[in-house]
């Protein structure tokens, strides 16, 4: 009989009196949350909160139940409640879920261009389309805050640092030869096609323990994970002709590029300041293969090879003719493969890579051979563990084998270095408003036979919905210039200490960012020749050396971007100030090096004309006076060059011709034909001074890209 | 004897309860879908759709083995993203939609043509939220889900509706426009005319929108 009653009870249950549950749902501050879903888990009983955040519903549940409240933008709330009374009243406060508006991001020192992160200050395409940058990544980066423009050399000069103090890193791997081989007083382009990358992070200091061997800056480039199914394309311009092919399948994709370039046609049209004997001629190819392995795994293999020839007469005041003939044949190969994977819903992630690069420069100066050779093999692995509440910790290690050779007049200089590093870093969110990143990097170089340990630290605090302040500090080590190490293997690392303070506000497509920094240089290499200063930048050091040098750099820079005020018009303004002195190299007293310009400013604008499908971009750049060496002046490096101005324009037009998309582009660099001077040099007797300027003054460039596949899609953002 | 009859009664009553439970589920789903379709689309704001989404969520939490309440909740949030204000708000709606879709597919044990269609729709909305920055990442995703749905069931009319609507809102110079969308939308309408949902609570949206777009194209 008992069973019978039990069954009756079971079936009759709904007939029993219901319990009334009422209450209110608010945010942490007590503000009403209308639209929240309030219900008892496992039942149909529940309701949606009204305009005042209040709710009221009845339930048949007995004894206890779990009340659940969910609402978009807030963490789901759950609580066990007892249902012993007929009426229950609850007040429920929901916690906002983490989002960019309430969670701080560590930003000091980093200037990001990314499609994936919404807080990035620029998009990768902004870099490619900057006028005056000639579609060169470093060409565009040098307009960013913190960079100083040095027209006669390649490299990124960041906050008082020399070009050698910046490392270019692709998918975590250091690029040994990011630029085409250096020539006397002719700035070289970067080797990499900017369209290869989905994101660029330009660190102006205080960067993560994941990277080393750079006293000033790292430029982090991340290759795209996917190729568009664009099929065959052809690019034609005044300097080169190329074909590219992209194929994307479900799990794998391939991109291939081959090109031939010759600058003779361009040089015939644009007056050159350089006396070319053989205009640069180059051919090359690259291949990228990507394979999705499993759910999250991705293998990327990239390989490139290029071969270039040129010959020029460079000015040589020491010779009778005043000229020196330089021949250069360069062969460069770079391969890198990376494998990334993640497990347990992204809680564990692996980034690993293997890379090899090889570079051969066969050069001769007036017939005398001067060959350079280098190769670098590197492996790297980083494991990241995501913890609850945005916290994370990562560990990693890398190892490099570097081999360098210089042959000067039959004498061979040879160096081998095995460099390894291990690092650990953790990102801690103390609250959503306050976060810190603490890292430590340890390095060992077999060549120096020394260890170093470099701590890195950053903090960020969210000061408002759209604004935040950050602080970054750290120590950075770099091996001395290898040319010194050929002669002296007892040298130590050079060191820089950074402190950076940053404020930024991003609101409504307008960005303001200001950063101030102090940088201390220590253990810089000094060279003692017992002779007067030799300003020839291509001299081979032969004097005694030690690590007795030092220096500082301090300053600030700011950035303002506005994409909102005028429709289809985007502009940004940057200004950088730096004050720096050093005692290093052959200096016998502390002075501002020749690559320092106190003020750098630029204005970059982009305007899109919808009707004619054309984007029109303009860049104005100003670089203030720079010191140069005058042997006749008793005070060292006291003379200064005039300031450098450059106004450049660029236009791109999108058109469909016979069903194929075609992009036309044209640019004029230095449209005002300003006779810029980058530095001055003197003849050995000190009597004659001559100016070193750009390769050409006003110059222009035209070209087009044709996409032969009907599948190809292009929007204005590509222009 | 007595014991067996009790047992029979027990089993019978239990069946009733299970049946009642199922009936309750279908009833709740039918009522919620009816209310969803009755929403006045011309009125601004997400409140009405939020209410419906919440009801589907409650059914979903009570019915751990049903994919349809999760599917419809996801659909509601995809629609809400169109009405949400900032990109962040739109993304939050779409994140929620994605979570429901994931649950639905876990219950189904596979991707069905309908979940693939909704995923394509979701990509479309992500793209619409921030087109300038997302066409590269979401565009191919949309195409991929459409392709997947076609493979699973080429007769699903919503595939062509989404394809057509994508073209409908793409400017002419980029290979879109009303004229180009028209044959695709017509194909969708043709498929709609023969389409029979598996049950009254299975996905059955898009016809009205297709008709509206076609009427715009004819102007």
At a CB cut-off of 8 Å and minimum separation 6, what does A715 contact?
B135, B174
Based on its alpha-carbon atoms, the radius of gyration of chain A, rounded to whole angstroms, reads: 31
Check residue B78 and give its pLDDT: 94
Contact (Cβ atoms closer than 8 angstroms) between residue A555 and residue A577: yes
Write out pLDDT tens, residues A374-424. 999 999 999 999 998 789 999 999 999 999 999 887 888 899 999 999 999
Residues of B in contact with A35 (CB under 8 A): 46-47, 50-51, 54
The token pair that represents B12 in the structure block: 């019978």
Asked if the Cβ–Cβ distance from B92 to A7 is below 8 Å, we say: no
Write out pLDDT tens, residues A67-93. 999 999 899 999 999 888 888 999 999
Region A537-554 average pLDDT: 91
The token pair that represents B87 in the structure block: 């990109």
Asked if the model's pLDDT at residue A706 lies above 80, the reply is yes
Asked if the Cβ–Cβ distance from A48 to B51 is below 8 Å, we say: yes
How many angstroms separate the Cα of A586 from the Cα of each of A158, A490, A528, A629, B83? 21, 18, 6, 12, 67
DSSP state of A598: S
Write out pLDDT tens, residues A588-607. 999 999 999 999 999 999 98
Region A298-321 average pLDDT: 87
Asked if the model's pLDDT at residue A131 lies above 70, the reply is yes
Query: Got the DSSP string for A611-667?
Result: TTTEEEEEEEEEE---EE--TT-SSTT-EEPPPEEEEEEEEEEEEEETTEEEEEEEE
Which among A117, A109, A142 has a CA at the least distance from the CA of A127? A142
Number of A–B residue contacts, CB under 8 Å: 84
Q: What is the 3-state secondary structure (H, E, C) of A221-264?
A: EEECCCCCCCEEEEEEECCEEEEEEEEECCCEEEEEEEEEEECH
Asked if the model's pLDDT at residue A23 lies above 70, the reply is yes
- Closest chain A residue to the Cα of B11, Cα to Cα: A7
Asked if the Cβ–Cβ distance from A4 to B140 is below 8 Å, we say: no
Asked if the Cβ–Cβ distance from B133 to A123 is below 8 Å, we say: yes
Write out pLDDT tens, residues A486-518. 889 899 999 999 999 999 998 888 999 999 999
Please state, in angstroms and rounded to a whole number, the distance separating the CA atoms of residues A371 and A286.
25
Write out pLDDT tens, residues A163-213. 999 999 999 999 999 998 888 888 888 888 877 888 888 999 999 999 999
Complete domains list, chain A, with CATH? 2-94 (2.60.40.1120), 110-718 (2.40.170.20)
Residues within 8 A of A (CB atoms), B 38-77 only: 46-47, 50-51, 53-55, 57-59, 61-62, 77
Check residue A55 and give its pLDDT: 95
Check residue B20 and give its pLDDT: 59
Which among A488, A602, A499, A596 has a CA at the least distance from the CA of A548? A488
Please state, in angstroms and rounded to a whole number, the distance separating the CA atoms of residues B167 and A549.
65
Asked if the Cβ–Cβ distance from B135 to A116 is below 8 Å, we say: no
The token pair that represents A13 in the structure block: 């249950």
Check residue A98 and give its pLDDT: 79
Asked if the model's pLDDT at residue B31 lies above 50, the reply is yes
Asked if the Cβ–Cβ distance from B88 to A3 is below 8 Å, we say: no
Residues above pLDDT 90, as percent of chain B = 48
- Closest chain A residue to the Cα of B63, Cα to Cα: A42
Asked if the model's pLDDT at residue A261 lies above 70, the reply is yes
Write out pLDDT tens, residues B82-102. 886 888 889 999 999 999 999
Which among A412, A391, A416, A413 has a CA at the least distance from the CA of A403? A416
At a CB cut-off of 8 Å and minimum separation 6, what does A413 contact?
A405, A406, A407, A486
Asked if the Cβ–Cβ distance from B6 to A11 is below 8 Å, we say: no
Check residue A308 and give its pLDDT: 93
Please check whether residue A564 touches B, CB under 8 A. no
- Phi then psi for residue A240, to 5 deg, are -155, 165
Asked if the Cβ–Cβ distance from A11 to B17 is below 8 Å, we say: yes
Which among A675, A658, A669, A670 has a CA at the least distance from the CA of A709? A658
Asked if the Cβ–Cβ distance from B136 to A99 is below 8 Å, we say: no
- Which is more confident, B178 or A3? B178
Residues of B in contact with A15 (CB under 8 A): none
Please check whether residue A41 touches B, CB under 8 A. yes
- Closest chain A residue to the Cα of B51, Cα to Cα: A48
Residues of A in contact with B141 (CB under 8 A): none
- Determine the residue among A15, A42, A48 to mutate to test chain B binding: the one whose Cβ has the most chain B Cβ atoms within 10 Å: A48
Please check whether residue A613 touches B, CB under 8 A. yes
Asked if the model's pLDDT at residue B133 lies above 80, the reply is no
In chain B, where are the structural domains located? 2-108
Asked if the Cβ–Cβ distance from A35 to B137 is below 8 Å, we say: no
Mean pLDDT (chain A) is: 89
- pTM of the predicted structure, to 2 decimals: 0.82
Minimum-distance CB partner of B61 among A41, A47, A656: A41
Residues of B in contact with A43 (CB under 8 A): 58, 62
- Closest chain A residue to the Cα of B52, Cα to Cα: A48
Mean pLDDT (chain B) is: 85
Asked if the model's pLDDT at residue A158 lies above 90, the reply is yes
Check residue A551 and give its pLDDT: 97
Asked if the model's pLDDT at residue A38 lies above 90, the reply is yes
Residues of B in contact with A72 (CB under 8 A): 77, 89, 92-93, 96
Which among A104, A100, A88, A93 has a CA at the least distance from the CA of A71? A93
């Amino acid at each position: 009989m008992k069973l019978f009653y039990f069954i009756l009870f079971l079936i009759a249950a709904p007939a029993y009196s219901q319990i009334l549950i009422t209450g209110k749902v608010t945010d942490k501050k007590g503000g009403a949350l209308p639209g929240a879903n309030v219900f008892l888990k496992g039942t149909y009983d529940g309701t949606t909160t009204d305009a005042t955040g209040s709710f009221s519903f009845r339930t048949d549940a007995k004894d206890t139940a779990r009340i659940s409240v969910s609402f978009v933008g807030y963490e789901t709330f759950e609580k066990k409640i007892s249902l012993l009374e007929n009426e229950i009243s609850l007040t429920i406060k929901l916690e906002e879920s983490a989002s960019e508006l309430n969670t701080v991001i560590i930003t000091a020192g980093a200037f990001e261009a990314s499609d994936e992160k919404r807080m990035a200050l620029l998009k990768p395409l902004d870099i490619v389309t900057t006028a005056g940058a000639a579609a060169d990544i470093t060409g565009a980066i040098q307009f960013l805050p913190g960079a100083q423009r040095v027209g006669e050399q390649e490299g990124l000069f960041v906050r008082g640092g020399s070009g050698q103090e910046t490392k270019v890193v692709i998918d975590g791997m250091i690029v040994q030869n990011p630029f085409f081989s250096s020539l006397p007083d002719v700035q070289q382009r970067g080797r990499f096609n900017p369209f290869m990358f989905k994101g660029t992070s330009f660190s102006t200091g205080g960067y993560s323990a994941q990277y080393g061997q750079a006293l000033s800056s790292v430029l982090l480039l991340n290759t795209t994970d996917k190729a568009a199914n664009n099929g065959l394309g052809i690019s034609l311009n005044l300097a080169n002709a190329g074909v590219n092919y992209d194929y994307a399948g479900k799990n794998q994709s391939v991109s291939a590029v081959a090109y031939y370039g010759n600058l003779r046609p361009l040089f015939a049209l644009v007056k050159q300041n350089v006396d070319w004997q053989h205009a640069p001629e180059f051919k090359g190819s690259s291949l990228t293969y990507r394979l999705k392995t499993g759910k999250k795994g991705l293998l990327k293999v990239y390989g490139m090879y290029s071969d270039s020839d040129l010959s020029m007469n460079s000015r040589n005041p020491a010779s009778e003719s005043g000229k020196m003939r330089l021949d250069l044949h360069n062969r460069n190969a770079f391969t890198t493969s990376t494998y990334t994977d993640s497990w347990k819903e992204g809680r564990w992630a692996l980034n690993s890579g293997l890379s090899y690069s090889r570079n051969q420069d066969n050069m001769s100066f007036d017939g005398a051979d001067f060959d350079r050779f280098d190769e670098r093999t590197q492996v790297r692995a980083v494991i990241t563990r995501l913890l609850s509440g945005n916290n994370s910790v990562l560990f990693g290690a890398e190892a490099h084998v570097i081999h360098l050779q210089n042959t000067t007049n039959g004498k061979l200089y040879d160096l081998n270095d095995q460099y390894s590093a291990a690092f650990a870093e953790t990102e801690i969110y103390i609250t959503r408003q306050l976060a810190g990143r603490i890292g430590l990097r340890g390095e060992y170089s077999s060549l120096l036979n020394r260890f170093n340990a470099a701590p890195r630290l950053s903090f960020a605090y969210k000061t408002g919905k759209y604004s935040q302040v950050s602080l970054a500090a750290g120590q950075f080590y770099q091996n001395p210039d290898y040319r010194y190490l050929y002669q002296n293997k007892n040298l130590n690392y050079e060191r820089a200490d950074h402190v950076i303070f940053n404020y930024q506000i991003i609101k409504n497509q307008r960005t303001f960012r200001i950063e101030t920094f102090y940088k201390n240089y220590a253990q810089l290499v000094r060279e003692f020749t017992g002779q007067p200063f030799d300003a020839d930048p291509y001299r081979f050091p032969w004097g005694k050396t030690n690590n007795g040098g030092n220096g500082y750099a301090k300053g600030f820079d700011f950035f303002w971007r506005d994409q909102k005020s005028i429709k289809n018009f985007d502009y940004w303004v940057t200004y950088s100030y730096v004050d720096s002195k050093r005692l290093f190299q052959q200096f016998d007293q502390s002075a501002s090096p020749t690559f320092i310009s106190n003020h750098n400013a630029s204005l970059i604008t982009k305007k899109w004309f919808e009707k004619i499908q054309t984007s029109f971009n303009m860049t104005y750049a100003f670089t203030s006076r720079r010191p140069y060496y005058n042997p006749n002046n008793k005070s060292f490096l006291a003379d200064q060059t005039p300031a450098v101005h450059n106004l450049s324009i660029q236009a791109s037009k999108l058109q469909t011709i016979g069903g194929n998309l075609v992009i036309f582009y044209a640019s004029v660099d230095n449209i005002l034909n300003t006779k810029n001077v980058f530095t001055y040099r003197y003849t050995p007797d000190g009597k004659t001074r001559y100016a070193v300027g750009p390769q050409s003054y006003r110059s222009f460039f035209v070209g087009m890209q044709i996409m032969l596949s009907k599948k190809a899609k292009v929007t204005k953002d590509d222009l | 004897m007595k014991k067996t009859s009790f047992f029979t009664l027990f089993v019978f009553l239990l069946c009733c309860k299970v049946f009642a439970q199922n009936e309750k589920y279908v009833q709740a789903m039918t009522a919620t879908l009816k209310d969803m379709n009755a929403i006045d689309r011309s009125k601004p704001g997400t409140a009405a759709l939020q209410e419906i989404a919440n009801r589907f969520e409650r059914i979903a939490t009570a019915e751990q083995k049903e994919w349809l309440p999760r599917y419809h909740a996801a659909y509601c949030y995809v629609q809400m993203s169109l009405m949400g204000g900032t990109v962040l708000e739109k993304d939050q709606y779409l994140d929620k939609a994605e979570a429901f879709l994931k649950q639905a597919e876990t219950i189904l044990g596979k991707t069905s043509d309908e979940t693939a269609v909704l995923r394509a729709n979701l990509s479309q909305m992500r793209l619409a939220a921030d087109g300038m920055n997302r066409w590269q990442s979401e565009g191919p995703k949309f195409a991929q889900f459409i392709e997947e749905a076609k493979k699973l069931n080429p007769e699903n009319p919503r595939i062509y509706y989404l394809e057509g609507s994508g073209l409908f809102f793409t400017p002419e110079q980029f290979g879109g426009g009303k004229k180009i969308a028209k044959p695709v939308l017509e194909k969708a309408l043709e498929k709609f005319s023969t389409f029979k949902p598996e049950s009254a609570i299975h996905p059955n949206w898009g016809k009205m929108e297709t008709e509206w777009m076609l009427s715009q194209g004819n102007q």
